[in-house]
Structure formats: structure tokens, C-alpha cells
Amino acid sequence: MCRAHPRVARRQLTSFVDYVPTKPLVIGHRGACGYRPEHTLESYRLAIRLGADYIEPDLVSTRDGVLVARHENEISGTTDVADHPSFAARRTTKEIDGRTVTGWFTEDFTLAELRTLRAKERLPGLRAQNTVFDGRYSIPTFQEIIDLASAEERRVGRPIGIYPETKHPSYFASIGLPLEEPLVTTLYRNGFDDRTDHVLIQSFEVTNLRALHRMTDIRLIQLLDSVGSPVDLPDLSYADLATPAGLASISGHAYGIGAHKDLLVPRDAAGSLRAANSVVHDAHVAGLVVHAWTFRAENEFLPPEFRIGAHPEARGDLIAELEIFLDLGVDGLFTDHPDTAVAAVNAVRRHRVPATAA
């Protein structure tokens, strides 16, 4: 257990202490990035106001060891760094998790330098409406996200969970900027160190989650992709981890799994949904919750049967896709469009609640 840092009083309403979710969680994936540039305070704030139970920051490190929210440590696609002549010489090529990546990287900037950059829409071709917000927002620190969640929690009068992901933890450890200690330290200083707290920590890697399991009682989520293997355990595929034996092993260090939706409901060669497999059931048998990712409203991301019209950027029938996974029994949904997921969850919940006697 990590107990080397002073703990402050937890900043949440007393009535939240015994809060137990009674419906699947809606997790604002990078905030509400269907409507605002991802991983900005405004994206997280909007996700909360649209009804998300949790907000999800992906965490990477600056050169001076500060955790900030970016989907990747390479930031040319999500910031205006390329427009800053003073940083032109920092464009470089690196190998990240076995991939060659060229661009600008958070670990080559101090927090003060990152503060001079502004966020932009990562998918301008699909989300042109979001580009009107380009240049308005800065890159937030993890502490700023916690502060936002705390303030919004008081404003809306309900718990707002935080669901950070450690991005490329083996890579950051290899360059002397491990993510685990600053993550646990930041949470602990804000009063979060217990499995009853509204915090979930996720990772695609296994060894860093096992390390976190020894450092904190905060609940951990093992992320599982539909293909490939964890970077730290390349001989162990995600498919192996999704078997009953693999899920049983995960239960030794994690509270649940965050599963790619195609891992739960496979698709055929044309992208259409096939019959669901037993992963949700098997995970529940192993004592794990299941959070599925990622649900997006644009046709580009939907199965063909739920697309409306021919344009990739047009919104299709996301509700229909969500209902399939809710009926399957998932315990949470990562989504770029929290309002749509909230509507789906509430509709399914109403249908399942038995009518009271008159």
C-alpha cells in the first residue's frame, strides 16, 4: 500500500459515501468528445452535464513528471504544436510500444511549455462541428480534472467518478518517467485510496496493474482489445485473457475488465454484428464487472445495420447498438456521446423495473 504521502479529507458530499450504482455506468470517453475536442476540461464538464457517471482521462507525463490528459504522448493531432516555430526542432521520431511514431511528444515538454499550446479536434473530417472550438482550450493536468470533478459533484449533487488510464506505462518507465507513483500520489493527496471511492484505474498492460494492485486499494480495470496482446506480455493474447482461465487470473488483481465491444459481440467480414459470445457471462462468473468500449454515434463507427444514410460523419442509430450490449448485461459503457448512452440506460432500466401494485 502507498501510504507515504499526506492524505487530505475527501472532497465529496457525505451522502455519497454509501452510493451504490443501480444501473450500468455511463463513462464519458475522453469527456464528451463527440461534441468538444477530447481531453479538455470543457469536454469533461460537458460529459458530466450530459449525465455521465464517470469521466475518463488518458494520462501521460511531461518532462518534469506532471500527469496531463492526452490520448497519446504524441500530440500533433490533438494540439497546435506544429504552429509554434519555437518548438519545430522538437519534432522527432521514436519507437513507442513497438511502433515508429513521428511528431512531438509530451515527455519532451515541461508543463509550462505545454501550457502555451491549445487543443484541437482530433477527427476534423468526421466531427467538423467540433473544429469551431479549436484553439480555445489548454491541456489539463490530472489535478485540474480532479478539481473539476469535485466542483461539478457539488454542483449537480451526485457522485462524479474519475476513470484514468495509464498510457504506455512500460514506455514511460523506460525513460525514467513511471506513471504509477505520481498517479497514486495525486489520488492519495486528494483523499482517494479506497475501493469505495469513485475512482477506477485502467490499463492495457498487465504488469503495471499488478504493481498498482500492490500500491493502492483503488479498483483496477484490465483493458482488453479485440486483437493483439499486452505490450508487456506479448506472448499472452487478449483472446487468452478473455477465456475463463484468463479472466480468473485477472480477478487476482482487478475489479473488472474494459473490453472492446468486438470482443464481446464479434463482427463478420462486412462489419455486421454476429451472435454474442460468453465473455460477459464468464467475466461475471469470475467476479469481474464488464465495461464495454467505445460507443460512438457516427456511421463510421457503427455496424452497417445501424447506419443512417451513406455519409461516414452522419449520426446513425447508436441507441440500437447500445441496447444490444445493455441486454447482454454489461456493467458500463464508454462513449463519446454520453447523452445518448444515458437515454439508452434509462430506457432499458425502465423496461426492466417491475410495475408496482396499484
* Whether the predicted pLDDT of 244 surpasses 90: yes
Which pLDDT score is estimated for 322? 98
For 26-78, write each residue's pLDDT tens digit.
Answer: 999 999 999 999 999 999 999 999 999 999 999 999 999 999 999 999 999 99
Which pLDDT score is estimated for 8? 40
Helix (H, G, I), strand (E, B) or coil at 100: strand
Domain ranges of the chain: 14-352
Please return the burial class of 328, using the count of CB atoms within 10 Å of its CB with bins 0-12, 13-18 and 19+. middle
For 267-318, write each residue's pLDDT tens digit.
Answer: 999 999 999 999 999 999 999 999 999 999 999 999 999 999 999 999 999 9
Rounded-to-integer distance, Cα 110 and Cα 16, Å:
37
* Whether the predicted pLDDT of 230 surpasses 70: yes
Which pLDDT score is estimated for 202? 98
Helices (H), the chain: 41-49, 111-114, 142-156, 169-174, 180-189, 207-215, 238-241, 244-250, 261-264, 279-285, 318-328, 338-352
Contact 318, 296 (CB under 8 A): yes
**More confident of the two residues 16 and 121:** 121
Rounded-to-integer distance, Cα 6 and Cα 284, Å:
36
Q: CATH number of the domain at 14-352, please?
A: 3.20.20.190
For 73-94, write each residue's pLDDT tens digit.
Answer: 999 999 999 999 999 999 999 9
* Count of other CB atoms within 10 angstroms of residue 125: 10
Which pLDDT score is estimated for 14? 29
Mean pLDDT of 341-345: 97
* Whether the predicted pLDDT of 358 surpasses 50: no
Q: Per the structure block, which three cell numbers stand in for 150? A: 469535485
- Lowest mean pLDDT of 6-15, 118-127, 246-255, name the range: 6-15
* Whether the predicted pLDDT of 99 surpasses 50: yes
Mean pLDDT of the chain: 93
Which pLDDT score is estimated for 17? 33
Q: Residue 348's pLDDT band (boundaries 50, 70, 90)?
A: confident
Which pLDDT score is estimated for 21? 54
For 185-222, write each residue's pLDDT tens digit.
Answer: 999 999 999 999 999 999 999 999 999 999 999 999 99
Which pLDDT score is estimated for 349? 65
